[in-house]
Structure 1
Amino acid sequence: MNQTDQHPLLEPNILRCLGKHLPRSQLPTCLRVCKKWHSTLEPFLWETLTLLNQPVNFTPRQATPTLLLRNRHHIRHLHEIGTNSLIHFLAYSITPRPVQLTSIHCSILSPEILVITQQNVDTLTSFICRSNRLRKDQEAQGLWCRQLFFILEMAPNLTEFALGPVIMLDPPNQEFNKISKNLKRLELDRVKVSVPTLYADSVPQESIVMDTFHSLESLTLVWNDFPPPCQIELIRKSPNLKALVWRRGTKLLAESWLSGSLAVPSRLSSLDIGNSHLDDQDMARLLSLIHNLVALNARSTPFSTHSLALLMNNQGPNMLELELMDCDGLNSDQVFTILTSMPKLKKFSASMLSASDFDSIATSGGDTEATATATAATTSSITARPPWVCLGLEELEISILGPSTCEDTDHARYASSIYKQLGKLTQLRTLVLKEIILDGQERGPLLDLTLEMGLAHLACLKQLRELHTRGLSVKMGTTELEWIAKEWTRLEVIKGPLNCVTGVDNKPLIRKLKELSPVAVVL
């Protein structure tokens, strides 16, 4: 054995360990190092196959049929968006190296997907078929859905199943009994049933009887297309539920729980009722029944005084996730009460935070320089606020409302106060910033990602992976881009408009950012 073969980075075990931690974007470069690197790391490149909604001839960066067939045995996760001609080769080719998938994620239920599912029924643990709309070929989709259930009935290891939108041809009690043996997660998004009697006011009990879902821990029901009695029966037969998503639903769930006709699962700790038709008082009564609640999504609901008081008194200190974006009944005072009294929060979203409230944090103590500046610049009409206690936040989405008019010095002070508070959240991985500008407002945008306006205060966000700035008037120059590349080394995605400080075309700006931080993707 020569000296080259003894190098640690040529040992297969070490290379495989390295491959598990390499970003997918860097794998093609690593394959070119040498033959041994290529043969050892190539399976990691093919572990997940994503097929986009374009013909192969128009996607030069996509795999060719030859490459696909040569490496199909490495594929473990298939993700198809739309239709793609490569799916035909994957489904119908005859090779001595069969594919062994553990998960299938598609947006269209097609004969090719059914064939691939049948071929991998023994290894499949997850099947997800999501689309944005109900397809025109509803009859064919219904038949394919029936065939899918026949196949998945034979999948011994299936633990995750998501479907929709689609019209099922058979009563759900027959279908779900067949595939529910080991399911831990079930999602039905705009799923209808072609059995009119199930939508009637009076439904025979034998039509909705289901087996008990002992393993089911997460249930998602979106919209109200699924027969209401079947929705309730699904929850009733899932005694070990930990997470329930009842998004865009009616008052049916609340009425069933509040009346006592449906028991609240004893282990339920996560509830998503976003966009649902509940009033504030009913929501408060419903929350009072969930003693172990640590995660709540109430986006675009009437969540307000009653629900907040109940949450603060019962579950407040233990809350980990709280999403309250677009809750019109909440004001800035209530949002700041949450941020100053829930220390364990990891995920939070809310709108209409007042910029002056951020300024009052700086005024109330801790930062003596900020205190002196704010005291000299204001007339002491601001009520002092305690600082945020949820410094372990990992995901934050906030919409900030600035004053309708303010002097340039106040403008800069408000922006600085906001960035200083955000800069204390050193565990942030995702930051979504929006600014609310009311009609007829005299001042310009308050938040701007320039070093002048306070970007430098965010230097401590070393864990930041995603930055969303769709609601900001973002102006940047080369100085800001160099700062981002230096300080936010883990940044992967920037979503939102990027404008040059000079007001010229921003394409050179985006190219410069990708040069400085190749991993970052700008959308």
Structure 2
Amino acid sequence: MSPPEPEPEPPAALLVPEILTSIAQHLSHKDFLNAVLVSHSWHAHLIPLLWHTLALPQRWRIIMATDKVFPDMVVFRKYAHLVRSLSCNNLQYYMDYLIPYCAKLTELNVIDLSEDTLPLLQLNTQTLTCIKFKREHELAKRSFRVLEFLTLMNDCIFLDTLRLEDFAVDEDYESEDAYEEQRRRCNRDRKRPPAPVAPISTTATATISAAAAAAATVEEEGEEEEEETSSSPTTVLMSQTRRAEEKEAAIKLFYQILHRVTTLDIVRNVIKALPPNRSEVFYRLRKLALLDCTMSYMDQLQLISQCQYLTHLRIQLCRYSERHLDSEELSAVHLDVACPNITHLDLSWSTLKDHEIAALLKQLPRLISFRAQRTNIGEKTMDMLAGFSSGIRDQLEELDLVDAREIQSSWIQRLLCSCAGLRRFRATEINAKDIIGGSASATAALAMPTAADTSEAVTTGTAKNGSMDSDTSPMSWVCLQLQELQLSITGISPQSSLQEQTIVYDQLSKLTQLQILSLGGNYLSTWFRMGTLELSLNKGFDRLKTLKELRVFNFSYMAHDLGMSEVEFMMQHWTKLRKVVGTIGINVHEGEAGSANGLGTTTATGAQKKTGTGAGTDAGTGGCPS
């Protein structure tokens, strides 16, 4: 008899962090720590991973805490050398913990930045690759040791990513001496007693009061002479000269750092001046974000033009940056950006006009990703995205037009019928009539129209109607490689025929590569939606069985009839499904209303159930989140 085969050794604990992350939401803090300490082998694997990223409690949590929120000092000092990424709100509470123990940081994220960060920054200049600093917006005008910060950041030889928010490199704030002088004056004003009021009937009291008033006058004159002596013109001039030199040195250091980084984010009040040398090029910079920047409108474009090797550009241009321009000068500003390598453009929440966006798109021949949430989208931009003369129509892989202003449903249909290379598409909503009309026209067509014929039809339709409508999109969706679709289909009335919903489901069923399908969602412009797809097997929902790659399905904030039969259908045909977001109503007995179980978010670990009341077949109740 042969000996039994030895049992295989358990695999290395590579998935332990994922397991603990999954069960952590069901455990208390104490139980979670006990679970970590269950096995010495797990503990040995987890110690470096758990200490790799450290997020310290925020200041308000420390002030309001009723128990001990700081870790044990001995334990912290023992494992502080394992910390690589540090994020904190205010360092003044943690100096004894961090210095000199955290000396191998690669990422430093400090909110509510102050001079307390300087020693920690100096301690990690040889290892830091990512720096994110944010100052409080209210303190942006106060005196700040900017030059010392920039000098230390310039010494970070491996610095690759830099994000600054309200850092105020070239702000014209007053010096510390001026703030101290102002504070001393306020203190003197508070301590100085008020001048006594002389009684009319008493001569002696009046004499004493007069003497006191005379003494106070002499004291005031002495203080005024002291103030005049301390703030002589020579001293003021020297102070102004020194501040001007520091400001010039700070600007020079800032742009010197830009020659080293590949990713730069400038948020609000960081810098207003351009580089001293307008012809220098920042060769290493690949990703640039200018968000609500105080730099003027034209200077931002000039800075972008000096980053000729950019691949990712994110701009949030606001009109207040143009307040120093009159209407004639503003009309002469052109978005001439010499960055032909840009592949990802994000203009979300920007105040750029339609013709300005179109002019910018014209300068980017290699664009594959375009995001424009809450932005002005008009016909000129649509022509640049989906027109037959567009050079980027067939190469676009990502479009995000969620809550775009003035966008029409027919334009959404036109994009889906024109951009064949799309992989990810996000928009707010589309009317089902545009999908039904386009699909019917495509089904009735005997042959695919040529580009010239379609272009002529588009031109004719626009000339007749004055705008693009559904007749300009006589084809079904051509983006059959879509992996993510976030779009709410509306305009389906209760009286709509079964054939109309079937056409919409047929259109969706052709997207066999979909991994994320979101027919609902909570956007700024819409909330709860009526007139959406019923998501019922009786109305054609079973046609979506071709979506074998689907992993995420979102039907939240929709009026629907999705019940237990549809859930079983999804479990049977969507075998890769890992997450479901929405609320459903389930009837316990057919024909009578029972208790409703809400299906919240379903993940690979199972379903998280909620309890509620209401009839499951009621579209209004079944679709509304509990």
Specify if TM > 0.5.
Answer: yes
Deviation string 1:52-72 (CA, Å, 9 cap, x unpaired) is 546368699998445554433
Shift of 1:145: 5.2
Structure 1 unaligned segments of length 5 or more: list them.
199-204, 367-381
Residue type of the alignment partner of 1:332 = S
The DSSP-based 3-state class of the residue aligned with 1:308 is: helix
* Alignment partner, residue 92 of structure 1: 96
* Number of corresponding residues: 473
* Alignment partner, residue 157 of structure 1: 158
Shift of 1:130: 5.6
**Correspondence 1:187 to 2:251:** no
Alignment of 1:45-124 (within 5 A): 45-51=50-56, 53=58, 55=61, 64-65=71-72, 68-80=76-88, 82=89, 88-89=93-94, 91-93=95-97, 98-111=102-115, 113-124=117-128
Structure 2 Cα separation of the partners of residues 52 and 447 of structure 1: 45
Residue type of the alignment partner of 1:213 = F
Change (3 A) 1:287 1:209: closer
Residue type of the alignment partner of 2:129 = T
Select the residue among 467, 488, 511 that pairs with 1:425.
Answer: 511
**Correspondence 1:25 to 2:30:** no
Select the residue among 291, 294, 304 that pairs with 1:222.
Answer: 291
Select the residue among 439, 443, 447 that pairs with 2:533.
Answer: 447
In terms of mean alpha carbon deviation, does 59-68 or 338-347 score higher? 59-68
Shift of 1:244: 1.8
Select the residue among 469, 482, 489 that pairs with 1:400.
Answer: 489
Select the residue among 313, 338, 355 that pairs with 2:415.
Answer: 338
**Correspondence 1:280 to 2:384:** no
Deviation string 1:14-72 (CA, Å, 9 cap, x unpaired) is 445x5687784369698456311220233223322334546368699998445554433
Structure 1 Cα separation of the partners of residues 269 and 307 of structure 2: 19
Q: Percent identity?
A: 22
Alignment of 1:203-352 (within 5 A): 212-228=281-297, 230-250=299-319, 263-311=337-385, 312=387, 313=389, 314-352=391-429
In terms of mean alpha carbon deviation, does 107-116 or 451-460 score higher? 451-460
Structure 2 Cα separation of the partners of residues 467 and 344 of structure 1: 22
* Alignment partner, residue 325 of structure 2: none
Structure 1 Cα separation of the partners of residues 159 and 99 of structure 2: 26
Change (3 A) 1:79 1:23: farther
* Alignment partner, residue 358 of structure 1: 435
Change (3 A) 1:73 1:223: same
Shift of 1:480: 6.0
* TM-score normalised per structure 2: 0.61
Structure 1 Cα separation of the partners of residues 594 and 113 of structure 2: 46
Select the residue among 578, 597, 601 that pairs with 1:491.
Answer: 578
Task: Tell me how large the CA RMSD over aligned residues is.
Answer: 4.8
Structure 2 Cα separation of the partners of residues 20 and 514 of structure 1: 16
Deviation string 1:369-414 (CA, Å, 9 cap, x unpaired) is xxxxxxxxxxxxx9895332223223333243315x441x53x655
Deviation string 1:61-107 (CA, Å, 9 cap, x unpaired) is 99844555443333322344x56x9x844x43268864522223344
Shift of 1:215: 0.1
The DSSP-based 3-state class of the residue aligned with 1:274 is: coil
Change (3 A) 1:150 1:24: farther
Deviation string 1:411-455 (CA, Å, 9 cap, x unpaired) is x65555445544443444444434899x9xxx9442356666666
Structure 2 Cα separation of the partners of residues 512 and 259 of structure 1: 51
* Alignment partner, residue 137 of structure 2: 135
Structure 2 Cα separation of the partners of residues 263 and 400 of structure 1: 37
Residue type of the alignment partner of 1:71 = Y
Shift of 1:317: 0.7
Shift of 1:316: 0.7
Residue type of the alignment partner of 2:140 = Q
* Alignment partner, residue 177 of structure 1: 255
In terms of mean alpha carbon deviation, does 94-103 or 24-33 score higher? 24-33
CA contact (8 A) 2:269 2:294 kept: yes
Shift of 1:110: 4.2
Structure 2 Cα separation of the partners of residues 276 and 146 of structure 1: 32
CA contact (8 A) 1:159 1:182 kept: yes
Residue type of the alignment partner of 1:336 = Q
Change (3 A) 1:239 1:388: same
The DSSP-based 3-state class of the residue aligned with 2:419 is: coil
Shift of 1:154: 1.2
* Alignment partner, residue 452 of structure 2: none
Shift of 1:338: 1.7
Structure 2 unaligned segments of length 5 or more: list them.
25-31, 172-246, 323-328, 444-469, 588-592, 609-624
Structure 2 Cα separation of the partners of residues 294 and 462 of structure 1: 26
CA contact (8 A) 2:377 2:404 kept: yes
The DSSP-based 3-state class of the residue aligned with 1:191 is: coil
Shift of 1:459: 5.3
* Alignment partner, residue 516 of structure 1: 606
Residue type of the alignment partner of 1:325 = V
Residue type of the alignment partner of 2:10 = L
Residue type of the alignment partner of 1:266 = P
* Alignment partner, residue 125 of structure 1: 129
Shift of 1:124: 1.4
The DSSP-based 3-state class of the residue aligned with 2:137 is: coil
CA contact (8 A) 1:218 1:244 kept: yes
CA contact (8 A) 1:187 1:219 kept: yes
* TM-score normalised per structure 1: 0.72
Residue type of the alignment partner of 1:516 = G
In terms of mean alpha carbon deviation, does 308-317 or 29-38 score higher? 29-38
Structure 1 Cα separation of the partners of residues 66 and 605 of structure 2: 24
* Alignment partner, residue 389 of structure 1: 478
* Alignment partner, residue 372 of structure 1: none
Which entry has the higher C-alpha Rg, 1 or 2?
A: 2
In terms of mean alpha carbon deviation, does 316-325 or 259-268 score higher? 259-268
Shift of 1:161: 1.1
The DSSP-based 3-state class of the residue aligned with 2:309 is: coil
